[in-house]
Amino acid sequence: MRDVFHEQLDAIFSDLASICRNVEAAVGLATRALTEGDAEIAQRVISGDREIDLARERVEDAAFNLLSLQQPVAGDLRMVVAGLRMVSELERMGDLSVHVAKIARLRVPEVAVPREVQPTINKMAMTAEDMVSRVAKIIVDRDVEAAIELGRDDEVMDQLRRQSFTELLSEDWSHGVEAAVDLALLGRYYERIADHAVSVAHRVVFVVTGEYPRATA
């Protein structure tokens, strides 16, 4: 009976990793829609979010079934509860990708991000996508060291966010309020994707060790 239970637990974490890979694809496509001004790609991200939502529902159903039928204790209970919280954060990451795609679609046939600030936004997008990709592997491997390292690397995103504000508030800004709002929102969306990735990684640490990583300066 316990073997079946642990197989079901492993299946939940496998599903979490699969959702994470779908989110990674959504982040990449949303960024492509943004940089290319491609409404079709943007719509793919928006429409594809339904699959992430359905996957979240399946994970939640599986987790609640384990809670009600198996009555897990201690470490097993910790894994189920963490899984429920992780899937919620992964879904939110997918939603944030949709927000990026909607900005891209709104500005078609133009590109939402002015040319001179595209390098910063592209770096934010690449950082977010890389962090999501690493989280998928962290979930599969339950790799505590990699999870803690991801949390430290979040400072890269924080620096890019500050840089985007510097560019936005520069006296040389000549692109108007609309582009400024887009840039502020995009920076926030990518930053939040990274924040959620770190949170999911920290939950993996909690699953393995029973403790959350200590904050580092």
Contact between residue 50 and residue 164 where contact means Cβ atoms under 8 Å apart: no
Residue 51 CA neighbour count, 13 Å, CB half: 14
pLDDT of residue 2: 62
Task: Say whether pLDDT at 5 is over 90.
Answer: no
The confidence score (pLDDT) of residue 125 equals 96
For the record, the structure tokens of 108 come out as 């078609």
Of 110, 92, 107, give the one whose Cα is nearest residue 27.
92
Q: Do the beta carbons of residue 105 and residue 33 sit within 8 Å?
A: yes
Q: What is the pLDDT of residues 74-119, one digit of tens each?
A: 778 888 889 999 999 999 999 999 999 999 999 999 999 999 999 9
Q: What is the pTM of this model?
A: 0.93
pLDDT class for 215, splitting at 50, 70, 90? low
Could you give all domains of the chain from N- to C-terminal order, each with its CATH number?
2-209 (1.20.58.220)
Rg (CA), the chain: 19
The pLDDT tens digits of the residues spanning 152-205 come to 878 999 999 999 999 988 888 999 999 999 999 999 999 999 999 999 999 999
How confident is residue 151, by pLDDT bands cut at 50, 70 and 90? Answer: confident
Highest mean pLDDT among 73-77, 132-136, 174-178, 212-216: 132-136
